[in-house]
Amino acid sequence: MAEKVLVVDDEKDLVELLRYNLSKEGFSVISTGNGTEALQLAWKEIPDLIVLDIMLPGMQGLDVLKSLRAKAETKTTPVILLTAKSEELDKVLGLELGADDYITKPFSPREVTARVKAVLRRFGAGLKASHDRKIAIGDLVLDLAKHKVFLKGEAVELSPTEFKLLKYLVENQGRVISRESLLNNVWGYDSFVEPRTVDVHIRRLRAKIEEDPERPIYIKTIRGVGYTFLE
């Protein structure tokens, strides 16, 4: 069955261009140019991935993203944001809210197709973590078979990318890992993600698993190098 992509943008020509190129690569494409309609479509159709413009009529893209992450059906659905060059703050905020990637306009359809494939591969690899084991570090427990994380016995909601990032850090406890290494091993060698995206995801992880994100116990910053996880 073809993977389903929801494209949300109010530029009709751009939507048709993306529809043509994604369909040519075997994806099933549904679309809308309205933020409110995007939510209804997402909850009705449950797409495998959403390409979401930030500037939308009816409901802004970041508000759509918040609502997607607040509902069980779309809490972990991969989302790629479409942003303008001037929307630097929105890019970071979008990643903070749970977006998995972003693309800056103008872009080539081939770039979008490559990003969609890369994010879906990353998402699939995370869900297929089939090791039937758990990793416990202090109050933190990773259940690799069920793709779940628990802190002091309480479930922690992580996106597929956050889970894969945490899993990689945990499996390399005590090692200092550079941003480039994290990009290659979590996002993949064919990813277009920038190094600062790692920092945003680390901040999101700390906010969810650290008692005091400003004084982290688990994920330590090694200035000028990268990160290390408590050994």
- Residue for token pair 């918040």: 66
CA-angle at 69, arms to 197 and 55, nearest 5°: 70
Q: What kind and span of H or E run contains 105?
A: strand 101-105
- Asked whether residue 41 carries a pLDDT value surpassing 70, the answer given is yes
CB neighbourhood size of 61 (10 A): 24
- Asked whether residue 213 carries a pLDDT value surpassing 60, the answer given is yes
- Asked whether residue 163 carries a pLDDT value surpassing 60, the answer given is yes
Do 8 and 101 sit in the same domain of this protein?
Answer: yes
Domain enclosing residue 97, as ranges: 4-127
Using the 3D structure, point to which of 111, 127, 143 is the last residue of a domain: 127
- pTM above 0.75? no
Using the 3D structure, point to which of 80, 112, 127 is the last residue of a domain: 127
Q: Which CATH number goes with the domain that contains 80?
A: 3.40.50.2300
Do 120 and 204 sit in the same domain of this protein?
Answer: no
Do 152 and 222 sit in the same domain of this protein?
Answer: yes
pLDDT in tens, 129-143: 444 467 888 888 888
pLDDT in tens, 53-86: 999 988 999 999 999 988 878 888 899 999 886 6
* Residues 81 and 109: beta-carbon distance below 8 Å: no
Confidence bin at 96 (pLDDT 50/70/90):
confident
**What value does the mean pLDDT take over residues 204-220?**
93
| Distance from C-alpha of 38 to C-alpha of 141, rounded to nearest angstrom | 35
